[in-house]
A and B are shown apart, each in its own frame.
Chain A
């Protein structure tokens, strides 16, 4: 018996593949159609209908309809296939009866040319696959099925046919025919031994919908973020300002200094130095820490298992989409009465009135980039109160967050960090902003093993700078996933806390929101809270509870960052104005 399956032709290339939709429609589930090997009669393996490419078009449609109807009517269930086993003659007789029954079941959705094929008399005699089988095993004379019916190859039908979801749990015990009936079966039909269902299951594959239809499904349902030009994440209208046209006419808008791409590459190669805050002397130690980006390993370790991504999507989707009422706009839903009065006054005074007299309420676009910093220091390897080690939980949380944000179309990156003294702070870019969220990322995550120490301040400074340079959006969020407080050579207690707090303050002043999550860890959360602030740190006992926490936590962090960014912009503007005035004076 030939088991190999001819490769399905490329979708859309041959007419056989194009009949896939028709087959899927009749069967009521995804099916593919492909050409059978030359000389073979049409058949199906449960996922693909193989047909004779040389047959006429109406015949091909009939064949597809019959085979798909068989699958749709449950005619190829495991118990039937088990009973058919290797008995080809029975299989043929069964098809002659059951084929008509299956067609009759799907009558309402069959193409007109196929409806004439169904023999209602024959179909009326059977009410179920089992009764068709009983007729087939009886001694009665049954005409061979028409050639367009094809054949049933019981041993080649794969596990797809089984609808029960989980293999093993509700192990479909072969409900064979009652013994008495079987004994009545004509002996000479019995040309093979009862093989049971084992053969049908050796290729069990619980995930259906592969192949052309599956690919199609993926294509249609998949996220559409792969393509698309322009600056990612930044789809805010650029000509709109919060304060309308009157605000700061001619004010220079300065953005954070952006590093050149070359510069970024150099940093990646050589490592980059960051200052550290010495709380005892109340000054920075310049060039104190060296951060290097280690190439992430992607051993053939198991893929990291994300938490429930779907559950996270909803709270995260609401981020950054609040409504804003903007006054003095050129267009809008309502009249800004104050602006209107001003305009009338200007007109009455003989000057050209300002036309920006509307209030517009706009939903802010997301325009968000997020960098997740995952603590992979030795302490994460400790056992968690929730079972397993802390690292497993935090990794699951990081993965879920990354995937959820990625799904929502945000710019997101995921870095691991650990350190061994100030000259060896390592960060591992598991997913850079431009990397895809794919299996490679999951494998890299799976390869992360906890070890060494935590120099939190340097990691935050590096994360924030990567976020600013590569994030590409105005709103930025740094999420630190850590189990407890930092410890490294010469970096502990009050010194470490003060430095980390300083690093956060620097990032926040530049408008980057920062927060920290501790998942399934009972470590030193108190210190983290002191560093990040109570509003920007949360302890979550299990990954599943992430859902309730991330929404409010992220939102308040972003709001705080917005305020801080605005304050610093205002300071900037004031300083510029003062400079201008001083120069004039």
Chain B
């Protein structure tokens, strides 16, 4: 995997130093930040830098302990044990990234406790063994405090085992760079998209469930790079994903026209 190019990530603050330090000290990392601000990309870039394989698990509310740790499967007439992604990462010394950890069931996150503190162990009671984490294993979880429901907060006992890195949407100059690079558009178009994105982010109070993330801006950029007009791209990639409500959609279309239409229109 070392011959691959580094996933594109532009640091905004000291997050890379913090991550490296935490990795060397075998501390677990909690990434906080809104959807689509680059959490996953950050972890990919760090895994590349540190030369560790990356195991990513997207958590959802039916994720069970067995999904993470492993389970017995039937093969012919026999049962065989199949490692789950977490067990695999523990054995190989990989970086295990649990995306949107809060979505997972509370009983599931409990298996992370002995792994995320100084013990660095994964007990597998089905097998009757306790795995010691291989050197290089690092647990990274992400958490989106704004968007997850109030009822699903991260338990204190889980949070306190983590080093926290807070990410947010990058400042406009960085975001322009990111969109130009990832979307494959020129800087002028990127700047316009960022401006629109920032305007929509100011709308947070107006009841959009999510704001325009870097991710949707990149998507719009990629459509533009394919030859689509700016407005059409933004309607499809920004307005569409953000809302289903016709009134809000109409408002967003107006905003898109105001920000992305050509000057003389």
A interface residue numbers (CB < 8 A to B): 11-12, 15, 18-22, 24-26, 28-30, 57-58, 61, 108-114, 116, 209, 212-213, 216-221, 313-314, 317, 323, 333-335, 337, 340, 344, 357, 361, 363
Instruction: Out of B151, B195, B198, B203, name the residue touching A24 (CB < 8 Å).
Output: B203
B interface residue numbers (CB < 8 A to A): 61, 64, 66-67, 71-74, 77, 79, 105, 107, 126, 150-151, 172, 192, 195, 198-200, 202-203, 205-209, 243, 245-248, 250-255, 258-259, 261, 263, 265
Closest Cβ of chain B: how far from A72's Cβ, in Å?
Answer: 8
Closest Cβ of chain A: how far from B195's Cβ, in Å?
Answer: 7
Given A216-B248, A335-B71, verify A21-B105 contact (CB < 8 Å): no
Cα distance A223–B263 in the bound complex, in angstroms: 41
The residue in chain A whose Cβ has the minimal distance to the Cβ of B66 is: A333
Q: Are A335 and B246 in contact (CB under 8 A)?
A: no
Q: A61: which B residues are within 8 A, CB to CB? A: 258
Cα distance A109–B263 in the bound complex, in angstroms: 16
Most chain A beta-carbon neighbours within 10 Å: one of B71, B73, B253, B255: B255
Given A21-B251, A109-B198, verify A216-B206 contact (CB < 8 Å): yes
Q: Are B207 and A22 in contact (CB under 8 A)?
A: no
Closest Cβ of chain A: how far from B206's Cβ, in Å?
Answer: 5
Q: Are B74 and A25 in contact (CB under 8 A)?
A: no
> Chain A interface secondary structure, helix, strand, loop or mixed?
helix
Cα distance A218–B207 in the bound complex, in angstroms: 8
Instruction: Out of B73, B74, B208, B251, name the residue touching A20 (CB < 8 Å).
Output: B251
Instruction: Out of B72, B200, B207, B246, name the residue touching A220 (CB < 8 Å).
Output: B207
Cα distance A29–B192 in the bound complex, in angstroms: 22
Q: B245: which A residues are within 8 A, CB to CB? A: 216, 219-220
Q: B77: which A residues are within 8 A, CB to CB? A: 344
Q: Are A25 and B200 in contact (CB under 8 A)?
A: yes
Instruction: Out of A28, A221, A340, name the residue touching B207 (CB < 8 Å).
Output: A221
Q: A109: which B residues are within 8 A, CB to CB? A: 195, 198-199, 202
Q: B67: which A residues are within 8 A, CB to CB? A: 333
Q: Are A19 and B192 in contact (CB under 8 A)?
A: no
Q: A29: which B residues are within 8 A, CB to CB? A: 205
Q: B61: which A residues are within 8 A, CB to CB? A: 363
Q: Are B248 and A220 in contact (CB under 8 A)?
A: yes
Closest Cβ of chain B: how far from A251's Cβ, in Å?
Answer: 29
Q: B150: which A residues are within 8 A, CB to CB? A: 313-314
Q: Are B248 and A57 in contact (CB under 8 A)?
A: no
Instruction: Out of B73, B192, B258, B263, name the residue touching A22 (CB < 8 Å).
Output: B258
15 A-B pairs with C-beta separation under 8 A = A12-B246, A21-B254, A25-B200, A108-B172, A109-B195, A109-B199, A112-B259, A113-B263, A220-B209, A221-B207, A323-B105, A333-B66, A334-B71, A335-B72, A340-B79
Q: A220: which B residues are within 8 A, CB to CB? A: 207-209, 243, 245, 248
Given A28-B202, A113-B263, verify A340-B74 contact (CB < 8 Å): yes
Cα distance A113–B195 in the bound complex, in angstroms: 12
Instruction: Out of B73, B126, B151, B203, name the residue touching A21 (CB < 8 Å).
Output: B203
Most chain A beta-carbon neighbours within 10 Å: one of B105, B203, B251: B251
Q: B261: which A residues are within 8 A, CB to CB? A: 113
Q: A15: which B residues are within 8 A, CB to CB? A: 254
Further pairs besides A18-B251, A313-B150: 4, Cβ < 8 Å: A212-B247, A216-B206, A220-B245, A333-B66
Q: B243: which A residues are within 8 A, CB to CB? A: 220
Cα distance A429–B94 in the bound complex, in angstroms: 61
Cα distance A110–B74 in the bound complex, in angstroms: 61
The residue in chain A whose Cβ has the minimal distance to the Cβ of B200 is: A25
Closest Cβ of chain A: how far from B265's Cβ, in Å?
Answer: 7
Q: Are B151 and A25 in contact (CB under 8 A)?
A: no
Cα distance A21–B258 in the bound complex, in angstroms: 11
Cα distance A317–B250 in the bound complex, in angstroms: 36
Closest Cβ of chain A: how far from B154's Cβ, in Å?
Answer: 14
Closest Cβ of chain B: how far from A383's Cβ, in Å?
Answer: 36
Q: A337: which B residues are within 8 A, CB to CB? A: 72, 79
Q: Are B151 and A314 in contact (CB under 8 A)?
A: yes
Q: A113: which B residues are within 8 A, CB to CB? A: 258, 261, 263
Q: Are B263 and A333 in contact (CB under 8 A)?
A: no
Given A30-B206, A109-B198, verify A18-B74 contact (CB < 8 Å): no
Q: A12: which B residues are within 8 A, CB to CB? A: 246-247, 250
Cα distance A335–B259 in the bound complex, in angstroms: 57
The residue in chain B whose Cβ has the minimal distance to the Cβ of A348 is: B77
Q: Are B248 and A25 in contact (CB under 8 A)?
A: no
The residue in chain B whose Cβ has the minimal distance to the Cβ of A360 is: B64
